[in-house]
Amino acid sequence: MLIKEVFAKEVLDSRKMPTVSVEIITNSGKFKSSVPSGTSTGKHEAVELRDKNGSVKKAVENIKNIIAPQIVNKNFSNQKEIDNLLLKLDGTTNKRKLGANAILAVSMAACRAFSQENKLPLYKYIQKISHNKNKIRMPKPMILLFEGGKHADNKAGKEIQEFMIIPRGKRFSDNFETGKKIYNYVGRFLKKNKIKKALGIEGAYYSLGNELSLEIIYKIIRKLKVNCKTGLDVAASEFFKNKKYNLDGGKLTGKQMIEMYEQLIKNFKIVSIEDPFSEEDFDSWRIFNKLSKKSRKIMLVGDDLTVSNPSLIKKAINNKLCNAMILKINQIGTISEAIESFKIAKKAGWKIIVSHRSGETLDDFIADFSVGLGADFVKFGAVSQKERMVKYNRLKEIEREI
């Protein structure tokens, strides 16, 4: 594939924050990408390069002045070749020189261009380069209903961050409709009870507190008689200080957090808990993972713990810290590395959840990415805002196609 031109610019994400957009031109056409950005970020994530004023002008300039001269008017045979060049140009372990936002934007646009060169839909091209020999199947959505902490009005982040439902039907489109039905029902419930219907940054309703949010979800699932389970993203690193969890006004130990989770699992049919402990609290992760294996099959999901990084995933596997992970392509910075992370985790028997970020764009790349890899689940937020809906809608298009 001959790359003829590369253009980069600053655009705004769903939080009105600057992010990076790229367009690559080849003989086959024009291929665009725009990268997301997180609010609750793991400290080991690849570096998102920002200027002091919050802009991404330096990252854009790095594409124009460093990356583009090395790839324009040159032929590339596959995704890994261009990704390896990007990593070589950066030369750091965490992409702090060029910025993961600059590198990923080019990697994503190139992936789209390669899919066209190969005359394959993007999800089939990703299936090809990830050596996924399994039959194409659709992931199950984890649909956001309530959000708290830094995602809502609690800037201190001292509450559970996300409350999700996981519909269990066979078809993605049916699961999506179930999620939409419950989301709309929650809205009507809040209005009827004269509760403020403010939305968080991923389109879900503000949390009403940990137990009350879960009680409402559980009652609605039972009332509507739908096949759904419940999932949490605790984001515990956000309220971990001095080896204690400052949650809901209390200061809990890791042991007390485990006891709390055991009670929530029992009361509310929870099947997935993401980041229940700080990324530094290995002992609690290990103990809870062991308990989960013995008593019930709970998805214990690493995000801040693993940050889609192959070396950290291996560490978590070796230390038996969790049994599932979030895969966010901007945490690692290239498509090839994200594929490698998926393979390592899948080989260990983990469940994989391909996820959006709080600061999203109208780019739907991760929908194709999740299908091509064969991910078990997707996390795209609430079924409301347009930057979330384009991803859900793309999955519905793929389902119709296959």
Q: Is there a catalytic annotation at residue 328?
A: yes
CA distance 280 to 90: 28
CA distance 370 to 377: 8
237 CB-near residues (< 8 Å, 6+ apart): 40, 42, 43, 275, 278, 279, 280, 304
- Residue 6 · residue 106 · CB < 8 Å: yes
Q: Is there a catalytic annotation at residue 211?
A: no
**Residues linked to residue 273 through DSSP beta bridges, in sequence order:** 232, 300
- Residue 47 · residue 392 · CB < 8 Å: no
Tokens 């810290």 locate to 321
CA distance 307 to 210: 25
- Say which of 159, 202, 274, 279 is annotated catalytic: 202
CA distance 38 to 364: 16
Please give the full DSSP string across 296-355, using - where no structure is assigned: ---EEEESTTTTT-HHHHHHHHHTT--SEEEE-HHHH-SHHHHHHHHHHHHHTT-EEEEE
- Say which of 328, 346, 379, 391 is annotated catalytic: 328
393 CB-near residues (< 8 Å, 6+ apart): 364
Coil/strand/helix, residue 189:
helix
Residues identified as active-site: 202, 328
